[in-house]
């Protein structure tokens, strides 16, 4: 039985550079906390990888409320990268998630290249399997978005972090607002990223017409959920054709079929975000859905789906 199960699991295996994932499904940063809450619902080792909430050097308190509002087929958030900071993360949060047999990917953010490299070094020393550079959060001015929209500082940042770390895979999370997604994708690859991930949320706004007030205190937030999926699929398609490194696709994935769509477009792995807010078990259900799709279509290996869209 055990042997059979392992064999079955191998079918879903994919690789991000040196990192082997049991299945292509990861959590999207900011939708899984540091793992403790989701661990109340399922065995975290069932995930391909867990991508944790973004961490900065010092704690960030986040934006005023209301921070979220639901819109048709999606939601807008402006959390503002609230996080406990590196020190508390290393002392209290990381040891907890390390208990599971799952690759841990830390998402990092800062206001300068020096902050990013310090974070990356400390996290490499702490033994994380991957580091995702957040250069695309739309909700704070200093949340790295400046790096995500300017090619020159983007290149310099990826290069600086690459120089600093050896073992963890380096993932760069791109902004959907990047002027030329192919160009940014290639730049990440050329500067030594092991993978790119996209898309982050799309800047958006909603107003209550009865009170005439914005539904998010910060007025503008980031749109996520099924509403953004076709945009995300298109960008993953464009990015994956521009580079040879693996692409992690995300944006509105709620089912196995959604994940397969991103993979057909060129994604090697996928991340589930807003769907986890709808259902804490969403990521596992997406993984199960990929397996079911593969069985229906006689596909033996998840990696064979990547880029397999037919003309």
Partner 1 sequence: MFGVRSCERDPLLKRPFCYFRKRGDEIDILYRVVGKMTSIMKGLRPGDKVEILGPLGNIYPMEEAECGAKIPLVIAGGVGIASVYPLLERLKGKGILFYGGRNKKEILLRKELREISKKMVVATDDGSLGFRGTAVEAAGDFLKGRDREGFVLYACGPNGMLKAASGLGVNGYIASEEKMACGIGVCLGCAVRTKDGYKRACKDGPVFRTGEILFD
User: What residues are annotated to the active site?
Assistant: 137
Q: Where are the beta strands (DSSP E) in the chain?
A: 14-16, 19-21, 25-27, 50-51, 68-71, 74-77, 104-108, 130-134, 169-173, 195-198, 202-205, 207-208, 213-214, 220-224, 247-250, 269-272
Quick one: 144 or 225, whose CB is closer to partner 1? 225
* Candidate residues 69, 134, 175, 306; the one interacting with partner 1 per rule CB under 8 A: 69
For the chain, what's the residue count?
Answer: 311
* Candidate residues 45, 64, 179, 183; the one interacting with partner 1 per rule CB under 8 A: 64
**Range in contact with partner 1 (rule: CB under 8 A) among 66-74, 112-120, 148-156, 196-204:** 66-74
Spatial separation of the C-alpha atoms in residues 28 and 235, rounded to whole Å: 17
**Size of the residue set binding partner 1 (CB under 8 A):** 33
Structure tokens at 25: 């499904």
- Per CB under 8 A, 284 contacts partner 1: no
What are the b/e assignments for 238-254, b being 16+ CB within 10 Å?
A: bbbebbebbbbbbbbbb
3-state SS assignment for residue 22: coil
Q: How far is the CB of 230 from partner 1 (least distance, A)?
A: 16
Quick one: 136 or 254, whose CB is closer to partner 1? 254
When computed from its CA atoms, the radius of gyration of the chain, rounded to whole angstroms, is: 18
Mask for 70-99, x = binds partner 1 (CB under 8 A): x--xxx-x-x--x-----------------
Structure tokens at 311: 């003309």
- Block residue for tokens 């996209």: 198
Whole-Å CA distances, 36 to 116, 287, 292 = 25, 20, 28
- Per CB under 8 A, 62 contacts partner 1: yes
**Range in contact with partner 1 (rule: CB under 8 A) among 133-141, 159-167, 186-194, 270-278:** 270-278
Mask for 220-249, x = binds partner 1 (CB under 8 A): -----xx-----------------------
- Per CB under 8 A, 68 contacts partner 1: yes
Residues contributing to the site for partner 1 (CB under 8 A): 30-33, 37-38, 40-41, 53, 61-62, 64-70, 73-75, 77, 79, 82, 225-226, 254, 274, 276-280
């Amino acid at each position: 039985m055990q042997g059979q199960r392992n064999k079955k699991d191998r079918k879903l295996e994919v690789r991000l550079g040196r990192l082997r994932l049991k299945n292509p499904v990861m959590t999207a940063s900011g939708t899984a906390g540091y793992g403790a809450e989701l661990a109340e619902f399922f065995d975290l080792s069932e995930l391909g990888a867990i991508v944790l909430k973004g961490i900065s050097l010092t704690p960030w308190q986040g934006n005023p409320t209301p921070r979220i509002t639901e819109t048709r087929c999606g939601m807008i958030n402006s959390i503002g990268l609230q996080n406990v900071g590196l020190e508390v993360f290393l002392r209290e949060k990381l040891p907890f998630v390390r208990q599971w047999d799952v690759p841990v990917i830390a998402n990092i953010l800062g206001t300068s290249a020096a902050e990013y490299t310090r974070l990356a070094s400390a996290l490499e020393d702490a033994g994380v399997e991957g580091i995702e550079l957040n250069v695309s959060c739309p909700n704070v001015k200093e949340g790295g978005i400046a790096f995500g929209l300017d090619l020159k500082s983007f290149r310099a940042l990826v290069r600086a972090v690459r120089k600093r770390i050896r073992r963890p895979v380096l993932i760069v999370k791109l902004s959907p607002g990047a002027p030329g997604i192919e160009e940014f994708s290639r730049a990440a690859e050329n500067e030594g990223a092991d993978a790119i991930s996209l898309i982050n949320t799309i800047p958006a706004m909603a107003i209550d017409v009865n009170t005439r007030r914005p539904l998010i205190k910060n007025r503008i937030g980031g749109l996520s959920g099924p509403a953004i999926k076709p945009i995300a699929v298109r960008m993953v398609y464009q990015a994956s054709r521009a580079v040879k490194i693996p692409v992690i696709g995300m944006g509105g994935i709620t089912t196995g079929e959604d994940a397969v769509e991103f993979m057909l477009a060129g994604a090697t792995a996928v991340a589930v975000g807003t769907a986890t807010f709808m259902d804490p078990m969403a990521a596992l259900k997406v993984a199960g859905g990929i397996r079911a799709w593969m069985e229906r279509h006689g596909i033996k290996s998840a990696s064979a789906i990547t880029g397999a869209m037919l003309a």
